[in-house]
Amino acid sequence: MESQKTMLFGGLSNDEVEKKRLVCGFNETKIKKKSVFLRIGKWLISPISLMLILTAIISFAIGKDFDGWFITFLLFLNMTISIWQERKADKAIEKLSEHLLVSVRVLRMGFG
């Protein structure tokens, strides 16, 4: 029974591992960092931002320049705070991932 288990669950041979690495790469995760411009663009198309932009445009169109500039100021203030908070969160995740140790036990050619 044990030899049957080894045949069924014998793991990959070294050659099979190398072939899979060539096709799939190493088994690792990569954190993709978004550029500041991509974050700003994503933030600007959010519903709240679009509403503020539309309100500012309407304010300027009807001659309420102070209101338009005030809404524009609030829009940029909100965007700055959001980007700052995201950067803080990204740095926290980066620090946590530095301390994260992942270990895996594999079965190769019948040995584990």
List per-block mean pLDDT (blocks of 10 residues) for the chain, which spans 112 residues.
49 80 78 79 87 95 96 92 89 84 72 54
Q: Give the integer Cα–Cα distance in Å for 110 and 112.
A: 7
Q: Which amino acid is at 65?
A: D
Tell me the pTM. 0.59
The pLDDT value recorded for residue 9 is: 58
